[in-house]
């Protein structure tokens, strides 16, 4: 069974949980909310730091969940780490970087497995630009163009949680400090994870035979593009789009980069801009 909600309905369930702050301390910058009992068990934790915030998701769903959200056009810069479970097209052991503008769409999460996810949100896109002051040539072309202001296309990249990332993630989840020490400690762990993820992006990945698209794969990538165009106002999630064209989500993302030179939702964002002119 899949529970399908609009973004408004989903946010309303969280509004009803505002009185459920279960934080073990009185720090107003650190809040822990019980997950809406209609959907599952667990919690969401938000830690506000200087210029960034951490969101920790830890819950189990009663049923598969699908949430349709509307485009806001808001700028976002998110480094995410899907430690376990499947949520928003990300699987346990994957990390991702999203940099650009909120384009709307659908995200899904699967029941039957514990979902643990750590997100680092920067308050301003300029913060990431300030981090990357040299050696930009090593970065993926689209990311480099965003930094240099050549393009305004949303950038999305998915990688794997490297061994070097596991310790700082554990240290965020189980931070032993309090007060100012805790704030500085968590900020340092966020910067460490951002640095490791940027290093991963800057390291050329070897291409193997499994990454080469076949003729029928390319046809399905074009089919996926047509679905996006037809449903651009209410686009399917990556997982649903992949299912509709008979590909797994990894090959769909890889295929869009190889065929169209951009991400799935980067293509959608560009199409919407061109249509509005």
Number of domains in the chain: 2
Domain residues for the domain of 219 are 209-276
Q: What confidence tens digit (pLDDT) does each residue in 3-29 have?
A: 999 989 999 998 888 776 666 666 889
Verify that 61 and 181 share a domain, yes or no: yes
Q: Is there a single domain that holds both residue 165 and residue 222? A: no
- The answer, as to whether pTM is greater than 0.85, is no
CA 90 to chain centre: 8
Q: Contact 37/85 with Cβ under 8 angstroms?
A: no
Same-domain check for residues 32 and 55: yes
The last residue of a domain, from among 148, 175, 202: 202
Phi, psi at 108, each rounded to 5°: -130, 150
Q: State pLDDT tens for residues 37-82.
A: 999 999 999 999 999 999 999 999 999 999 988 777 777 889 999 9
* Residue ending a domain, choose from 179, 202, 225: 202
Predicted confidence at residue 116, as pLDDT, reads 97
- Clarify whether residues 118 and 174 are in a common domain: yes
For the chain (277 residues), the mean pLDDT of every run of 10, in chain order, is: 90 83 74 93 95 96 90 82 89 88 78 95 82 73 76 80 94 92 96 92 58 77 92 83 86 82 79 78
Last residue of a domain, one of 202, 235, 261: 202
Q: Are residues 214 and 125 in the same domain?
A: no
pLDDT one-digit tens code per residue, 34-46: 999 999 999 999 9
């Amino acid at each position: 069974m899949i529970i399908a909600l609009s973004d408004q309905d989903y946010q309303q369930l969280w509004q009803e949980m505002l009185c459920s702050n279960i934080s073990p301390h009185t720090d107003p910058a650190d809040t822990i909310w019980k997950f809406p009992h209609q959907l599952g068990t667990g919690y969401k934790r938000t830690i506000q730091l200087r210029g960034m915030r951490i969101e920790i998701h830890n819950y189990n769903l009663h049923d598969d969940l699908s949430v349709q959200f509307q485009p806001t056009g808001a700028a976002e810069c998110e480094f995410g780490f899907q430690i376990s479970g499947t949520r928003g097209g990300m699987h346990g052991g994957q990390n991702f970087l999203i940099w650009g503008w909120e384009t709307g769409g659908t995200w899904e999460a699967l029941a039957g497995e514990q979902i643990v996810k750590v997100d680092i949100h920067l308050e301003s896109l300029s913060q990431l630009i300030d981090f990357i002051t040299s050696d930009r040539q090593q970065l993926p072309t689209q990311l480099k163009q965003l930094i240099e202001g050549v393009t305004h296309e949303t950038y999305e990249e998915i990688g794997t949680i490297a061994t070097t990332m596991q310790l700082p993630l554990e240290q965020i989840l189980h931070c032993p400090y309090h007060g100012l020490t805790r704030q500085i400690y968590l900020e340092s762990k966020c910067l460490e994870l951002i640095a490791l993820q940027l290093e991963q992006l800057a390291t050329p990945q070897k291409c193997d035979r499994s990454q080469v698209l076949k003729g029928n794969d390319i046809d399905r990538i074009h089919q996926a593009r047509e679905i996006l165009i037809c449903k651009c106002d209410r686009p399917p999630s990556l997982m649903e789009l992949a299912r509709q064209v008979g590909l797994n989500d990894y090959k769909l993302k890889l295929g869009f980069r190889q065929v169209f030179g951009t991400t799935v939702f980067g293509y959608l964002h560009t199409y919407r801009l061109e249509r509005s002119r």
